[in-house]
Amino acid sequence: MEAYAGRNARETTWRVLDAVETIADARGASMSQVSLAWLAAQPGVASVILGSRTAAQLTENLGAVDLELTPAELGSLDDASAPVTADYPYGAPGIDQRSRPIID
């Protein structure tokens, strides 16, 4: 899996996976359901693409529709995935834009 070596070497990747797994275990949901619910809760996200290869995966992923993450859970996932200032366009001001509503 040479193509993923760079991503797997980042500590952020493992923090996000740990946070998703912790929430999934606590909620009795799958990690994919938590991930999809988190993505759907982001400002400006109108739709989430389900990458299912089987009917079972599609059924599991559709379970995310009924999963509403708490503000604490969303915060935990946001904190785990927070970009490093140097990695995010425009530095610290760009990070402030991450959770800004698209329309007031």
The CA–CA distances, whole Å, from 5 to 19, 52, 67, 94 equal 21, 24, 32, 27
Q: Which two tokens stand for residue 14?
A: 């493992």
Per-residue pLDDT at 103 exceeds 80: no
CA neighbor of 17 nearest in space, from 34, 4, 39: 34
Tell me, what's the pLDDT at 38?
Answer: 95
Q: Which pLDDT tens digit goes with each residue over 4-55?
A: 566 566 788 889 999 999 999 999 999 999 999 999 999 888 888 888 899 9
Tell me, what's the pLDDT at 17?
Answer: 94
Q: Which two tokens stand for residue 60?
A: 């599991």
Tell me, what's the pLDDT at 1?
Answer: 47
Q: Which pLDDT tens digit goes with each residue over 77-102?
A: 999 988 766 655 666 677 777 777 77
> Which is more confidently placed, 88 or 71?
71
Q: Cβ(16)–Cβ(5) under 8 Å?
A: no
Confidence at 2, pLDDT banded by 50, 70, 90: low
